[in-house]
Structure 1
Amino acid sequence: MSAREERDALTPPTALHDRVLHLLRASTDGVPPRRGYSLPRKTAPGEDPLSREEALRAIRGALRPLPDDPATLHRRFERLGIRDRHRHLIKSAVVGLPLPAEQADAARSLARRLTRTGTTVLTVTAGIALLGRFGESEDVPYLSVLGLLRELTGPAVNVLDILDRRSAAVLWLAVRASRDELQPLVRALWTGDRQAVRPELIALPDALPFVGSAAARRIAEASQLSGLLDRHPTDTRLLAQAGRLLVRMGSSRDDPTDLLAYRDALRVYDSVVGRAGQLPPTLDNAAMLLSLAQDLSSGTGVLLDWPPGRRAALLESLGRLLAEPRWTSAGASGGEAVQRRRVDWIRRTGRQPFRHPATPDKFRIEVVTGDPADRERVETRVLIDGRPVVPALFGRGPAHSPDHLLDEGRLRAGEEPREVQLAEADCTEGCCGALYVTIRRDADQVVWENWRQTMTGSREPAAEPSAHRFDASAYDTEIARAETDCAWSWRARTVARLIKTGLIEEPDLLSRWDASRGWISSGFDDPDTAVVTFWYVPGQAAGRPERADSPLQFRWVVPDDGTPPEAQAAAALRRLAEEDPKSYARVCGGSRQRAEELGYPWPDGV
């Protein structure tokens, strides 16, 4: 053994808490780096990995009885084959650990030794999990330091959410908020510079597309937004920023459950809506207030624990304000494309949230288009007894678009039961699941039943699996109204819907060219265009498809020529009938090899 190896063997390893504290003190101004710190990766010796169930049983065994010190727990983990990759199971094991009240002090003492002197991720994670059950305010500073290790951020934030919500938010932002625009605010929060928090919060850009729902909630919690609003009742810039943060928290594009997790949501809604008359009637403020109204009418905001009549009162107040001439004309003279789209969006949908402000209709559909500046998706919001079912049962993605649910008639009720996907996670169902319901007609009623969520490798029931029954006549009327109501739609979207309807009614317009209908809607990058996609398989029209397992996808962009949408759609359908669309559309999918075989250029960047 070398002299250095002897030294290392005799020197006890440094506690993780002390290692992180040393790094923090050595950093500039005592502010942690973006994304925190990370431990060097260790390569575990080759071995048969434990299954999830085996690892969970082993962790429970290591914790029974509770060890007297971190070293004993470490040896138990080593002996039982528990490795760092199993650390996410420790919380579950600790939550289910039977610990009578008389053992609480001993468990708390062990948790503090593990978090303050533990030298491995596993032992410290166990200590953090125990603090989730037995921790107190004096443990907050230690958790805030340990959470700067990326391997421990999640467990530390979860426990801090119980002990000190503001400290949890500050830690989350320090490690997870990496955008340049957020760094001055994060610095003020981490260093405790309370005088700088409000100016830095106000200084964030008016448009917050880079702030997801989780970051918006953590900013509000860390800055103690409700208290700031109370202390600065005439600060309209702070008021507008608070409204924008509420909008981001409730965005179905991210995780709308962040709004439900924000404990001060009702107080901030009261402040923003109650003082909205103080705001200057700018386009940004009009868009923010309309977005809040949409959420209070049919979005996640409905699900908050409102006192009786309060939500309706706030909506009524917003409705009166936004109907005033100074607000209806906000931004009307703007010339930029995004500004024109926002003005048109407010004109089309500005009164929609106030038609059914608080009526507990048995079954209602609201097609909602969000602020074009945020590129919010078009959602088909289904409300049962006044509550939106997708955010209530599924917090991992928005409700599907009307293109999927209404244009294809998927919500219609027939004699045969039909399972319908109402929403899918943004990262696809294969990653984070989807929400399904089965729809069927039962005599003079329509039944929605067998709710289920899916995750990879599982078929989990939804949180509210009970069946709902609706009067069939009223249900059919509502479906027909929703399918034909296009008041929410803008010109290019209407053109796309009319083209799609025409191709559904006359599929031969495409099939004659060995093509089949694909995705048809307005363009994502340019919402003022209609986009038609189709799949091409040679020989398909003659019933002799060639390489059907390797189709080519084509994309045809139809620009808005200023004529009525009906005329534009009719012209597009005539062209499809008369000219092979492969001659003017461009390849956008399939494989490069297949495109080259068929003589079509492969697009750059695909």
Structure 2
Amino acid sequence: MSASYERSTLAPALSDHARRLRGAPVPRGGHPLPDSARTPRPRGPGPRHSEACARVKDVLRSLLDTPRADPEAALVATGVRDRTVLRAAATLDHPDEPAARALGRLLVRTGTTLVGVAAGIGLLSVLGEPEDVPYLRDLGMLDGLDSAAVEALAPLDPQAAATVGLAHGARETGLRALADALVSGRTSDLRALVVGVRAESPRDVGPGRARWIAEATRLPALLRAHPRDPELLAQAVLLLTRMTSRRDYAIALLRYGDARDLYEAITARVAGEAPATGLDRRARLLSLALDLHSGASHLLDWPPGRREQVLGALLAAVGEPTEPDTEPDTEADADPRTRRRAAWIRATAPRLRAITAPAEPCPVSRLRIEVAVADPGDPDAVETRFLVDGRPFVPWAFGPGPGDVPERTLDTGALRAGDEPREVRLAEAYCSEGCCGALYVTVRREGRYVVWGDWSRPGAPRGLPDLPVLRFDADAYDTEVARAEQDRGWSWPARDTARLIARGLRERPELLARWDLRQGWTGTDFGDPDTTVITYDDLPPTAGGAPDVQPRQYVWLLPDDGTPPEQRAAAALRRFAEEDPRRYPEPAR
């Protein structure tokens, strides 16, 4: 009986299998593979990832140095899984690029197994050319090959890459209809398909999927083709706003090659018109302006002065905060979410105008620290943003997540430069630090300078830029940190209450220690920003205790009742002093 890797020569090529399915709606997860495509792996524990990659690279180099009739068999014989083979091939260093490209094409076009085709896609992800697009697009519709095909297609044909991504990930009915139309090529009414996507929920259309929709439909051109279509404009604004969100493992906006063009197409529609009406449109235009000022949109390749012009046009379209749909007397009967959004517009628009168009021209400071609060209608992180020489630092230095919360960076005095060097976390990954890392800097004072250096990004993905040592005039630095710490104009009552309670517990640790508890996280509820959240934990067991007993966490919720934050915080701290805090809430775990 022949070995398993030899049987593949009797099986159909995956590219032929995919071509026969071209244009058919892609089921969730992709078109099924032939049974012969998945090769059995050897029993027992496999090699470490680094060892497996090295093994595959050795095989690929030998195939390039000494071509064989059946290169796929040698790859299958390694027993390495297809994902590892893909990574190894994508990072292969070989001087003969034409030979590597030819091997990649051979494997992509004739390969019969996931392992062989994955190796070919990995090679073409670096060396591919336009003629490879049809093969990669077809293979991307198969189960297990979508992410590899998207990565290989992205630099060659972003529209094809986006179509593959949407075909596999669409769940919502409108998005599914758009994906099926793109796959089949039946896009005669592309405008209706785009408008039909329900993108209000990030669960259906997150930042990455919003980018795919824009890429697959060539959204800027589509918007210009329908210059008087308010529904399409609203959808374009929503999709661009979603791309600015940091609720993803990478910054979708900076991966979207036409991001600046979409900004321009939207600005051309709103510039010169009467200010927008309706909370949705006003809030989203303000979100775009805020990101242009201190978010990732600032980093796009803007011609000199153009970013400022676009930002000004967006703020003009938002209008003044006295417009009727944000007046308090029209909100009396509105739901809490509507009231929060109206209040956010009233607070954020004037602050942004004052920062971006000061009454007196002033030079750009070396460091500016700002707190950005996202639209409450599309909840996102409250983050501390750092502008160095006028440019946002965290989106450039750390893609997986936003700047840290101000309660950590500002309220604790972490950024102050003292006599001893201090390591400070500036940003955390969208998922968590333990998953995709964080950005740390060591702050130290050197004579008349404050220095940011000894950068650390534990757990962060590869490919991030090298970070420079930053030097700030010490007096200017101290002044800016003090200003940022004292600026509470971005906050709201429930957040102020949380800050005062957290500060009180830091200053009086005995309030919790007397109950054998320790301070946890204090902030506002993500889904209900008007509720203060206080968490605290049982102290871990002592050396003589039971080591397998996990400390319990408790969560105390304080809805905003209209009482001033100072009074609410004082009342909470008094209760900690007088009553066992375990009695207030239910344990979180």
* TM-based fold match above 0.5: yes
Aligned to 2:206: 212
Give 1:441 shift: 1.3
Equivalent positions of 1:530-541 (< 5 A) are 530-537=532-539
- Matched residue SS, 1:455: coil
Give the distance between the partners of 2:71 and 2:94, measured in 1 at CA. Answer: 15
Give 1:475 shift: 1.3
Give the distance between the partners of 1:128 and 1:392, measured in 2 at CA. Answer: 29
Give the distance between the partners of 1:114 and 1:78, measured in 2 at CA. Answer: 12
Amino acid at match of 1:357: T
Give 1:259 shift: 0.8
- Matched residue SS, 2:453: strand
- Matched residue SS, 1:419: strand
* C-alpha distance after superposition, 1:217-256 (max 9, x if no partner): 1110000001112211222221221121111111112245
Equivalent positions of 1:330-409 (< 5 A) are 330=326, 333-334=330-331, 335-357=334-356, 360-409=364-413
Distance 1:304 1:372, change over 3 A: same
1:55–1:86 contact (8 Å) kept in structure 2: yes
Give the distance between the partners of 1:10 and 1:85, measured in 2 at CA. Answer: 19
2:278–2:325 contact (8 Å) kept in structure 1: no
* Aligned partner of 1:453 among 452, 457, 463: 457
Question: What do you get for the CA RMSD once the two structures are aligned?
Answer: 3.0
Amino acid at match of 2:208: A
Aligned to 1:557: 557
Give the distance between the partners of 1:220 and 1:482, measured in 2 at CA. Answer: 37
Aligned to 2:259: 265
2:531–2:560 contact (8 Å) kept in structure 1: yes
* C-alpha distance after superposition, 1:292-313 (max 9, x if no partner): 0110011111111111111111
2:52 is equivalent to residue 59 of structure 1: no
Give the distance between the partners of 2:529 and 2:452, measured in 1 at CA. Answer: 34
Give 1:110 shift: 4.4
- Matched residue SS, 1:350: helix
- Matched residue SS, 1:351: helix
* Aligned partner of 2:85 among 84, 87, 98: 87
* Aligned partner of 1:195 among 174, 188, 193: 188
Give the distance between the partners of 2:315 and 2:544, measured in 1 at CA. Answer: 57
* Aligned partner of 2:178 among 181, 185, 188: 185
1:380–1:400 contact (8 Å) kept in structure 2: yes
Aligned to 2:448: 444
- Matched residue SS, 1:438: strand
* Aligned partner of 1:288 among 273, 284, 293: 284
Return 5+ residue gaps in structure 1 as ranges.
590-606
Amino acid at match of 2:307: R
- Matched residue SS, 2:424: strand
* Aligned partner of 2:223 among 219, 223, 229: 229
- Matched residue SS, 2:456: strand
Q: After alignment, is 128-137 or 544-553 more displaced?
A: 544-553
1:538–1:545 contact (8 Å) kept in structure 2: no
Aligned to 1:13: 11
Distance 1:569 1:81, change over 3 A: closer
2:483 is equivalent to residue 481 of structure 1: yes
Give the distance between the partners of 1:352 and 1:194, measured in 2 at CA. Answer: 43
Amino acid at match of 1:114: L
Give 1:48 shift: 5.8
Return 5+ residue gaps in structure 2 as ranges.
358-362
Give the distance between the partners of 2:377 and 2:12, measured in 1 at CA. Answer: 50
* C-alpha distance after superposition, 1:124-151 (max 9, x if no partner): 2233334345544333222111111232
- Matched residue SS, 1:558: strand
- Matched residue SS, 2:283: helix
Give the distance between the partners of 1:93 and 1:563, measured in 2 at CA. Answer: 59
2:521–2:534 contact (8 Å) kept in structure 1: yes
- Matched residue SS, 2:369: strand
Give 1:430 shift: 2.5
Give the distance between the partners of 1:545 and 1:348, measured in 2 at CA. Answer: 53
Distance 1:112 1:70, change over 3 A: farther
Give the distance between the partners of 2:164 and 2:327, measured in 1 at CA. Answer: 39
Give the distance between the partners of 1:133 and 1:445, measured in 2 at CA. Answer: 44
Aligned to 2:75: 77
Q: After alignment, is 483-492 or 198-207 more displaced?
A: 198-207
Aligned to 2:360: none
Give the distance between the partners of 1:73 and 1:222, measured in 2 at CA. Answer: 35
TM-score, normalised relative to structure 1 = 0.86
Give the distance between the partners of 1:531 and 1:554, measured in 2 at CA. Answer: 10
* Aligned partner of 1:129 among 122, 131, 134: 122
Give 1:115 shift: 2.0
Aligned to 2:468: 466
1:70–1:118 contact (8 Å) kept in structure 2: no
Give 1:545 shift: 9.6
Distance 1:557 1:56, change over 3 A: closer
Identical-residue share of aligned pairs (%): 45
Give the distance between the partners of 2:571 and 2:155, measured in 1 at CA. Answer: 61
Give the distance between the partners of 2:192 and 2:378, measured in 1 at CA. Answer: 24
* Aligned partner of 2:301 among 278, 300, 305: 305
Aligned to 1:593: none
* C-alpha distance after superposition, 1:202-226 (max 9, x if no partner): 1223624221211111110000001
Give the distance between the partners of 2:64 and 2:339, measured in 1 at CA. Answer: 65
Give the distance between the partners of 1:464 and 1:283, measured in 2 at CA. Answer: 41
Distance 1:69 1:47, change over 3 A: farther
1:213–1:255 contact (8 Å) kept in structure 2: no
Give 1:366 shift: 0.9
Aligned to 2:567: 567
Q: After alignment, is 198-207 or 432-441 more displaced?
A: 198-207
Aligned to 1:147: 140
Give the distance between the partners of 2:9 and 2:367, measured in 1 at CA. Answer: 69
* Aligned partner of 1:315 among 303, 308, 311: 311
Distance 1:569 1:146, change over 3 A: same
Give the distance between the partners of 1:461 and 1:187, measured in 2 at CA. Answer: 34
Give 1:45 shift: 2.5
Distance 1:30 1:79, change over 3 A: closer
Give the distance between the partners of 2:319 and 2:552, measured in 1 at CA. Answer: 50
Give 1:77 shift: 2.0
Give the distance between the partners of 1:582 and 1:132, measured in 2 at CA. Answer: 56
Give the distance between the partners of 2:412 and 2:159, measured in 1 at CA. Answer: 47
Amino acid at match of 2:552: L
- Matched residue SS, 1:163: coil
* C-alpha distance after superposition, 1:371-401 (max 9, x if no partner): 1122211101111111222111111111111
Give 1:181 shift: 4.1
Amino acid at match of 1:302: H
Q: How many residues align?
A: 570
Amino acid at match of 1:319: L
- Matched residue SS, 1:365: strand
Give 1:569 shift: 1.6
Aligned to 2:528: 526
- Matched residue SS, 1:207: coil
